[in-house]
A and B are shown apart, each in its own frame.
Chain A
Amino acid sequence: MSSTATNQAKTTRANGSSKTPQAPLPRKRNSLAKGHLPRFAVLAIAAGALVLGAASSTLTGFSIASFAIYSAIIFVLAGSIITTVVEGPRRGKNALATYLVYGAFLLALIPLASVLFTVLQKGLPGINMHFLFHSMNGVTGAIDNASVENGTPVLGGAYHAVVGTLLITLWATLISVPVGMLTAVYLVEYGKNGPLARAITFFVDVMTGIPSIVAGLFATALFAVLLGPTARMGIVAAVALSVLMIPTVVRSTEEMLKIVPNELREASYALGVRKWRTITKVVIPTAISGIASGVTLAIARVIGETAPILVTAGLANNINANVFGNWMATLPTFIYYQIITPTSPTNIDPSIQRAWAAALLLIVMVMVLNLGARLIASLFAPKKGR
């Protein structure tokens, strides 16, 4: 054997079990692991960073935020520098990128957690039967002042806004779903990727990007031309919302219709069934779970829209169940106005409390719709087995 010393060292472990009398070196680390940080190194660096972070945060006046920021900076710097020294610059760069990617994800969770926590913490005290089933009709600044001074419960609620939200969203759904579904049927079943179908696909994509306030202005301008400049009522808001909702419905329905296997259509045609019967009795029922979940997501998207309601339905303090006449309130505009123009300018707390309670109500609605969409999609999905 003409092996060099290094080769011998490298093969030590391989030869360890052979007859060579050379004593195994249990303390020596595997040569393949040479130049690697041990696993506990990351934890050790993290612990060190936390200590140093706490120390430097205390120097500048301790706060949770500065503690977290200093610790994170120290950890990322120390971790990547130590990795660079021990494992080389390439792995150092890799470690830095890994820490930053993990950090970005944690950073993105902060606003989500903060928003949900704030809404729960500030909204829960305001939720009660009075809030849910009373409108703001007759609730004035004097009543709010009295409730603050005497410590009595806050009067006034969001019932009118809930009614408005549900009605306007219902009408928007009634407009958008037929138009959106028929368009998707045209794109998938009739358009055959012709110029018109491609134009529709393109403009539907563009429509998803229309700012919501522009959709509101469009509905206002449309009804102003039709009914005069002061036409503000629920149906105008519903038209504005359906401008926002139609593209979502088209896209989700289109995706779902596309994945219906062609064999189903062909089998139906082979039995002599007309195309429109095939579509309504075979294609759409197969895809209905996906379509329903897409529509639910579209509703969840528009139910929280504020800006288009602001410019189309105005604001009401009383219950108005007629979408074809008079101003209406919805939960988002209720929240907005309670914050921006408190009922009692001197004691804003009751208004803020109502705003957070309404925000909690709205977030619960949106979350229920989102979860509902997931449930519909998974529960009623056609079996995938082939």
Chain B
Amino acid sequence: MTSNALRRQGSKGQAGDKIFSGAALGAGILILITLFAVAIFLLIQALPTFTANPALITGGEGFASYIFPIVIGTVIAASIALLIATPVGIAVALFISHYAPRKLAAGLGYVIDLLAAIPSVIYGAWGYLVLAPALVPSYQWLAENMGFIPLFGGPASQTGKTILTAGIVLAVMVLPIITSLSREIFLQTPKLHEEAALALGATRWEMITMSVLPFARPGIISAVMLGLGRALGETMAVALVLSTGGLIPSLIKSGNQTIAAEIALNFPEAFGLRLSELIAAGLVLFVITLAVNLIARAIIARHKEFSGAN
């Protein structure tokens, strides 16, 4: 009787076990399917663009010549953002991990995380209504004094709605990503390395260049790559801040366009071939950011064992 009772109870529980582990496995597989579905559904919807008559594509010269200028525009905006955000982000991370008083450090980290919490549309509105007008005098100065460099070719935009402004707004949005990842890695530097450097008479900066930065290099690289992924895919800041146009070298004139903003600005009115064109543009963006993220994650994964960085 006892063994029967045990068996009966056991078989009841077994079903629950199987259902639960099956559900857990199913959820995991659903995520993999979702990611592949993203690629496949985008491909299905984008297909008409690639098979259509090139003359019907916006610009009239096929998809490649339509997408090329806005890919370059995306890269320009993301590069500006990273050029600003990388040094500042790393310095802020160093400030929180090695310079700020220990008691303040956690609170300061939270303040920087607040930057990441602000919705992108609010950054866009801020860039459009506050930052862009404030930057107009600087752009005029740049156009007058540095105009011989094509990057600052005049006449400067009267509204300040340029790719440089968009890049600065993107830099603000990317900064917390670079800071929070770098900070995690800086804090994992072996204490003994730091103390050994200080004991040999190194100044704080020498200690950082000798022990902290070499240790954190792969982590910093992947943090910057993740920031790049964010900057490439960010939509609203650019859609609101940039006054769009064709591809031009000057950073302080209206012009240039990014993929994400192109989609956001044109999608609501798009139908038919135009719709599939925009989805194809989204596919290109997806592939670019996927490649950037894969590289970043691969760098993290390779150095995971001995750095503990994540």
Contact: B119 with A211, CB < 8 Å?
no
Knowing A115-B118, A213-B260, say if A207 contacts B31 (CB, 8 Å): yes
Chain A: CB-nearest residue to B10? A274
Knowing A276-B16, A366-B118, say if A339 contacts B21 (CB, 8 Å): no
Chain A residues, Cβ within 8 Å of B235: 211-213, 306-307
Question: What per-residue 1/0 map shows which CB atoms of B191-230 lie under 8 Å from chain A?
Answer: 0000000000001111010000000000000000010011
B292 at interface, CB cutoff 8 A:
yes
Question: What per-residue 1/0 map shows which CB atoms of B266-303 lie under 8 Å from chain A?
Answer: 01100100010011001001100110111011000100
Chain B residues, Cβ within 8 Å of A115: 118, 122-123, 126
Of the candidates B26, B30, B115, which one forms a contact with A112 in the assembled complex, judged by CB atoms under 8 Å apart? Answer: B115
Contact: A186 with B27, CB < 8 Å?
yes
B57 at interface, CB cutoff 8 A:
no
Contact: A183 with B285, CB < 8 Å?
no
B52 at interface, CB cutoff 8 A:
no
Contact: B125 with A355, CB < 8 Å?
yes
Contact: A221 with B41, CB < 8 Å?
yes
Contact: A189 with B88, CB < 8 Å?
no
- Once the chains are docked, how many angstroms separate the CA of A162 from the CA of B230? 27
Contact: B17 with A304, CB < 8 Å?
no
B25 at interface, CB cutoff 8 A:
yes
Contact: A209 with B267, CB < 8 Å?
no
Of the candidates A93, A179, A191, which one forms a contact with B203 in the assembled complex, judged by CB atoms under 8 Å apart? Answer: A93
Smallest Cβ distance from A60 to chain B, in angstroms? 10
Contact: A214 with B285, CB < 8 Å?
yes
Knowing A94-B205, A183-B24, A229-B275, say if A336 contacts B42 (CB, 8 Å): no
Chain A: CB-nearest residue to B203? A94
Contact: B120 with A102, CB < 8 Å?
no
Within A135-186, the residues touching B (CB, 8 Å) are 178-183, 185-186
B263 at interface, CB cutoff 8 A:
yes
- Once the chains are docked, how many angstroms separate the CA of A202 from the CA of B91? 29
- Once the chains are docked, how many angstroms separate the CA of A101 from the CA of B130? 26
- Once the chains are docked, how many angstroms separate the CA of A45 from the CA of B20? 67
Contact: B32 with A214, CB < 8 Å?
no
Of the candidates A93, A221, A274, which one forms a contact with B13 in the assembled complex, judged by CB atoms under 8 Å apart? Answer: A274
Of the candidates A217, A306, A356, which one forms a contact with B42 in the assembled complex, judged by CB atoms under 8 Å apart? Answer: A217
Question: What per-residue 1/0 map shows which CB atoms of A338-359 lie under 8 Å from chain B?
Answer: 0110000000000010011001
A98 at interface, CB cutoff 8 A:
yes
- Once the chains are docked, how many angstroms separate the CA of A52 from the CA of B14? 80
Contact: A332 with B92, CB < 8 Å?
no
Contact: A182 with B285, CB < 8 Å?
no
A200 at interface, CB cutoff 8 A:
yes
Within A326-378, the residues touching B (CB, 8 Å) are 332, 335-336, 339-340, 352, 355-356, 359, 362-363, 366-367, 370, 374
Smallest Cβ distance from B120 to chain A, in angstroms? 6
Contact: B119 with A93, CB < 8 Å?
no
Chain B residues, Cβ within 8 Å of A210: 38, 233, 286, 289-290
Question: What per-residue 1/0 map shows which CB atoms of B158-176 lie under 8 Å from chain A?
Answer: 0000000000000010010
Chain A residues, Cβ within 8 Å of B125: 335, 339, 355-356, 359
Contact: A214 with B282, CB < 8 Å?
yes
Smallest Cβ distance from A91 to chain B, in angstroms? 6
B94 at interface, CB cutoff 8 A:
yes
Interface contacts beyond A274-B17, A339-B124: sample of 8 additional A-B pairs, CB < 8 Å, sorted by A: A112-B114, A183-B27, A200-B28, A209-B233, A212-B233, A217-B279, A307-B264, A311-B267
- Give me the interface of A with B, judged by CB distance under 8 Å: 65, 90-91, 93-94, 96-98, 100-105, 107-109, 111-112, 114-115, 118-119, 178-183, 185-187, 189-191, 196-197, 199-200, 202-215, 217-218, 220-222, 224-225, 229, 243, 246, 250, 274-277, 279-280, 300-301, 303-307, 310-311, 314-315, 332, 335-336, 339-340, 352, 355-356, 359, 362-363, 366-367, 370, 374
| A–B pairs, 15, beta carbons within 8 Å | A94-B206, A119-B122, A182-B26, A183-B27, A196-B29, A206-B293, A213-B264, A214-B42, A304-B119, A306-B121, A306-B124, A306-B236, A306-B264, A335-B122, A359-B125
